[in-house]
Amino acid sequence: MTINLRPHIQSCLEACSARFQIGVFTASAQDYADQVIDLIDPTHEFIQFRLYRQHCVQTHDGHYIKDLRVIRNRQLTDMLLVDNSVHSFGLQLDNGVPIIPFFDDESD
């Protein structure tokens, strides 16, 4: 498997995990997502929980929406969803932080 990791992802995870709980909520299949997350956080010290495609809501046109209400032990006001697809946070627009997709720009 070959994936492109954003530059400074490790230092970002380290800094963020010191102040926040980090979870991954992906529309990817669990088998694939686990491989990627394990590559990013091999010691499981930064990412505390994982949610996958089966936790999303699929729209009639095939988009996957990440409904943050599935995380029952947190208030919506305490969560952010960072994603490159605006569809992903369609149910909680106020919680969404849109980012551009990453391919291989080392200055990203």
As a whole number of angstroms, the distance between CA 65 and CA 55 comes to 9
Q: What is the pTM of this model?
A: 0.90
As a whole number of angstroms, the distance between CA 86 and CA 94 comes to 11
Beta pairing, strands 57-58 & 64-65: antiparallel
The more confidently predicted of residues 60 and 104 is: 60
Domain segments of the chain: what residues?
1-54, 56-98
> Tens digits of per-residue pLDDT, 26-71?
999 999 999 999 999 999 999 999 999 999 999 999 999 999 999 9
> Tens digits of per-residue pLDDT, 11-34?
999 999 999 999 999 999 999 999
Q: Is the pLDDT of residue 107 over 80?
A: no
As a whole number of angstroms, the distance between CA 103 and CA 101 comes to 7
pLDDT category of residue 103 using cuts at 50, 70 and 90: confident
As a whole number of angstroms, the distance between CA 86 and CA 97 comes to 8
